[in-house]
Chains A and B, each alone.
Chain A
């Protein structure tokens, strides 16, 4: 319980710093959300009111933006993303997605597109991109890089 209180306080103090950094910029909401997520790994739903107040927006506007964009999340995101753009699909990324999903379940998501289409298929593990992926390479990368 005290841990939760500490966390909530920590969240609010980080959010306050971030808002202060950006509040005078036009269109500040996306930079604010990116910075919060970079600091915390997600956007705590308890901070939506604070963000709204700090930027003179309504809570609905802030929630609307968070829920619109794939990048913003109320809970930590997946560690592994498999590119499912057409170029990666032409090189077998669907099989990679099933393979990774079998091992990691919810820890994997498709992404459209990592932008390295001449070296397909591509995956993203903890924000590092790996091209020319194969099922063998994926198996060893997951064993090495991804916490069980």
Chain B
């Protein structure tokens, strides 16, 4: 029997050399007259070990990593095809503590299966949710999602079931399912991992959403920075259609659902749902005033579900295993699991899926192992470019939507970016304003003009900080942030003050202030 070897096709793994490793393994095997079955799986999310090479053995998959192409002859010498000892050996993949301690519901297949194999997908419980849904009424599907407690994983954390119910009850045909795959937040890649590593999961989730609200057309609005995800999704959609999981007759039920990928064009603001809809319609990605909600008047003014990738990918398990199974994970009003992304200056960066309630401290030190640089952690930014900067004193905060709101931050899409003690937080505050200025859609004044004024103010503060306190500039910055917070049309302008004010609050010395002045 041939030996099966796994090397990821995830674009994160490819960016650190997985393709060269895969080719080297095939070349070495050919040279030695050995036949191996090379499977290009998704990533396990153990990114510090990528490129990760796994070998199927009687005990389970054995892992080696991070493997450089130059390591490959040595791996063959060490008989890695039978789990041989080697300095890069990590033991059984499933026993690696980082992975073993996780609660992988949404990510249960990612890194295990061949992403495009429908047989693999079904062998690991795939399409059981859709099978259930085809037996249920729309109202029953919506009720199951509502009972699960699932809230939008894109950042806004709105209850998914309530949104679906609004679309179900809305008058107007046709209705649409739109997947927001414009994962623009720095520090996040969980959407990408699902789309590249388990595309049928998203396709299944969207088909279920279509059955739930009576929509027959879905769009995946995918950021252009994810070309690998686009290729994999398009291939998966074609194969799912050929097998009757999409199209005019879903599994012989007579129900229809069609799906199409639409490529975005590099505008961060199109992650905002109304700007996304404008963009899908072929227009400038300018934010719409709400109401009307997209659930009532969304794409082409029709009732539309707009959900993040992870929200939709959470649905099949809820239908398959029941809402209580999902709801039993988590804490407070944050139910289920969150795929957390550990990124930036961190020793063990990667994907950690856990029930809500885990503390930052556990994530940063037990999972992450501290900084990559070996220096102390100065700050972490949670929830993307619009998330707050938190100092070490706040690392006891649990990952919970309400706990982060209370700390004037956001869980967002679950990204955590780590900075060591060399980071200049005034510079990062300036970056937040500059990012808002570059990405503002221009529709509302606080965001369009305020972000530019914010950059100017922070330039002045930074230029003068060595000369000591200039509290007048800081007062002005606070007033400007107040205007942005309360006067912006969407979260881009409305949340840009989060990183700015939290940096000012927790790291006043970086702004040339003593602590008391910062609080004044």
Listed in ascending order, the chain A residues whose CB lies under 8 Å from chain B are 26-31, 33-34, 55, 61, 64-65, 68-72, 84-91, 111-120, 122, 127, 129-132
Residues of A near B381 (CB, < 8 A) are 86
Q: Are A116 and B187 interface neighbours, CB within 8 A?
A: no
Closest residue of A by beta carbon distance from B280:
A27
Given contacts A65-B283, A127-B227, contact A112 B268 (CB under 8 A): yes
Residues of A near B281 (CB, < 8 A) are 26-27
Partner of A28, one of B47, B224, B282, B438: B282
Partner of B279, one of A30, A117, A130: A30
Q: Are A70 and B183 interface neighbours, CB within 8 A?
A: no
Closest residue of A by beta carbon distance from B285:
A68
**Interface residue B395 (Cβ < 8 Å from any Cβ of A):** no
Given contacts A26-B281, A85-B385, A91-B372, contact A118 B189 (CB under 8 A): yes
Beta-carbon contacts of B260-291 to A below 8 Å, as 1s and 0s?
Answer: 00111111100000000001111111100000
Residues of A near B345 (CB, < 8 A) are 90-91, 120
Q: Are B15 and A129 interface neighbours, CB within 8 A?
A: yes
Q: Are B342 and A118 interface neighbours, CB within 8 A?
A: yes
Partner of A117, one of B187, B280, B423: B187
Q: Are A118 and B350 interface neighbours, CB within 8 A?
A: yes
**Interface residue B418 (Cβ < 8 Å from any Cβ of A):** yes
Partner of B47, one of A34, A65, A113, A119: A119
**Interface residue B349 (Cβ < 8 Å from any Cβ of A):** yes
In angstroms, how far is the closest chain A Cβ from the Cβ of B297?
16
In angstroms, how far is the closest chain B Cβ from the Cβ of A128?
8
Residues of B near A30 (CB, < 8 A) are 262-265, 279-280, 282
Closest residue of A by beta carbon distance from B499:
A86
Closest residue of A by beta carbon distance from B14:
A129
| A121→B300 CA distance, assembly (Å) | 39
Q: Are B265 and A72 interface neighbours, CB within 8 A?
A: yes
**Interface residue B439 (Cβ < 8 Å from any Cβ of A):** yes
19 other A-B residue contacts (CB within 8 Å) besides A91-B345, A118-B189 = A29-B282, A30-B263, A30-B265, A34-B263, A61-B283, A64-B284, A65-B283, A68-B286, A86-B385, A86-B428, A87-B186, A89-B431, A112-B268, A112-B385, A112-B438, A113-B186, A115-B188, A118-B47, A118-B351
Residues of B near A132 (CB, < 8 A) are 16
| A52→B344 CA distance, assembly (Å) | 43
**Interface residue B353 (Cβ < 8 Å from any Cβ of A):** no
Within B398-434, the residues touching A (CB, 8 Å) are 415, 417-420, 423, 428, 431
Q: Are B12 and A116 interface neighbours, CB within 8 A?
A: yes
Q: Are B183 and A87 interface neighbours, CB within 8 A?
A: no
**Interface residue B329 (Cβ < 8 Å from any Cβ of A):** no
Given contacts A69-B285, A90-B423, A118-B349, contact A131 B265 (CB under 8 A): no
Residues of B near A26 (CB, < 8 A) are 281-282, 300
How many residues of chain B get a CB closer than 8 Å to chain A's CBs?
61
Q: Are B48 and A118 interface neighbours, CB within 8 A?
A: yes
**Interface residue B41 (Cβ < 8 Å from any Cβ of A):** no
In angstroms, how far is the closest chain A Cβ from the Cβ of B92?
22
Q: Are A131 and B282 interface neighbours, CB within 8 A?
A: no
Q: Are A122 and B417 interface neighbours, CB within 8 A?
A: no
Beta-carbon contacts of B116-127 to A below 8 Å, as 1s and 0s?
Answer: 000000000000
In angstroms, how far is the closest chain A Cβ from the Cβ of B224?
5
**Interface residue B435 (Cβ < 8 Å from any Cβ of A):** yes
Q: Are B47 and A129 interface neighbours, CB within 8 A?
A: no
Residues of B near A112 (CB, < 8 A) are 184, 186, 268, 385, 435, 438-439
Residues of A near B186 (CB, < 8 A) are 85-88, 112-113, 117
Closest residue of B by beta carbon distance from A130:
B15
**Interface residue B192 (Cβ < 8 Å from any Cβ of A):** yes
Q: Are B431 and A86 interface neighbours, CB within 8 A?
A: yes
Residues of B near A28 (CB, < 8 A) are 282
- Please give me the 4 A-B residue pairs with the lowest Cβ-Cβ distance, nearest first: A85-B186, A118-B349, A29-B282, A117-B343
Partner of B282, one of A27, A87, A129: A27
In angstroms, how far is the closest chain B Cβ from the Cβ of A129?
4
Partner of B284, one of A65, A70, A91, A114: A65
In angstroms, how far is the closest chain A Cβ from the Cβ of B20?
12
Residues of B near A131 (CB, < 8 A) are 12, 15-16
Q: Are A117 and B341 interface neighbours, CB within 8 A?
A: yes
Q: Are B343 and A120 interface neighbours, CB within 8 A?
A: yes
Given contacts A29-B282, A118-B189, contact A71 B266 (CB under 8 A): yes
| A64→B265 CA distance, assembly (Å) | 13
**Interface residue B173 (Cβ < 8 Å from any Cβ of A):** no
**Interface residue B11 (Cβ < 8 Å from any Cβ of A):** yes
B14, B192, B283: which has the most chain A beta carbons within 10 Å? B283
Closest residue of B by beta carbon distance from A120:
B344
| A64→B282 CA distance, assembly (Å) | 11
Q: Are B192 and A70 interface neighbours, CB within 8 A?
A: no
